[in-house]
């Protein structure tokens, strides 16, 4: 019969807890003096992009915000968030909307300039909203995605006095100089604008 092993003493437990916590105490803060971020859109969760992938600003004091640019990620929701958190990628958007349930993550404060449009003038004057999916796979454009995204876009338009029309809510493919095709031919603009104007 095996003898019972002695229980670890209090000192050993405390030493183990201290060692387990040590790596976390050595990690630097994400930003020196940074305060916990709150979202600009109350139904979004904060999933910050790395500061290397956007330009800190004070919009609308520094630049008016006069349009919303609609994007499609060409990848999965979680992967899009990971890309925005990778300093090597040099890209971000203000929001990412998940396909299955329309859940929104905010990655860049609306006061800051996200690098989403590929055109500096459009970046400085717009809010970028990414949608999980692929332009050639319309199944990603679910009812929940359209409805929740429309609510987000309507909120942005209301806060900045942006008209809720196709001249001010545009696709990435409409940005001058872009080689992107999103949101693509499967995006239902009529439906989306109706939702933006009725939520």
**8-28 confidence digits (pLDDT tens):** 554 444 444 444 443 433 333
pLDDT of residue 89 exceeding 90, the answer is yes
Range of lowest pLDDT (29-38, 89-98, 144-153)? 29-38
Select from 137, 118, 114 the least CA-distant residue to 47.
Answer: 114
143: pLDDT confidence band, cut at 50, 70 and 90? very high
Is the C-alpha dihedral spanning 132, 181, 162, 49 positive or negative?
positive
38: pLDDT confidence band, cut at 50, 70 and 90? confident
Helix (H, G, I), strand (E, B) or coil at 27: coil
Residue partners of 45: CB distance under 8 A and separation at least 6:
39, 103, 104, 105, 106
**pTM (2 d.p.):** 0.82
Task: Find where tokens 């999965």 sit.
Answer: 76
Other residues' Cβ atoms within 10 Å of the Cβ of residue 74: 18
Average pLDDT value for the chain: 87
């Amino acid at each position: 019969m095996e003898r019972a092993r002695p229980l670890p003493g209090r000192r050993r437990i405390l030493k183990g807890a201290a060692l387990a916590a040590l790596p976390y105490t050595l990690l630097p803060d994400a930003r020196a003096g940074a305060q916990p971020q709150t979202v600009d859109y109350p139904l979004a969760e904060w999933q910050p992009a790395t500061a290397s992938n956007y330009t800190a600003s004070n919009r609308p004091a520094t630049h008016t915000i006069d349009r919303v640019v609609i994007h499609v990620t060409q990848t999965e929701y979680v992967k899009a968030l990971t890309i925005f958190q990778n300093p090597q990628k040099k890209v971000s958007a203000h929001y990412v909307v998940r396909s299955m349930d329309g859940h929104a993550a905010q990655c860049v404060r609306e006061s800051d300039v996200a690098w989403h449009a590929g055109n500096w003038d459009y970046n400085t004057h717009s809010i970028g909203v990414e949608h999980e999916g692929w332009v050639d796979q319309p199944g990603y454009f679910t009812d929940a995605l359209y409805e929740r995204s429309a609510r987000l876009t309507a909120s942005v338009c209301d806060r900045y006095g942006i008209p809720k029309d196709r001249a001010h809510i545009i696709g990435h493919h409409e940005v001058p100089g872009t080689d992107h095709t999103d949101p693509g031919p499967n995006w239902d603009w009529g439906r989306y604008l109706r939702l933006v104007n009725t939520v």
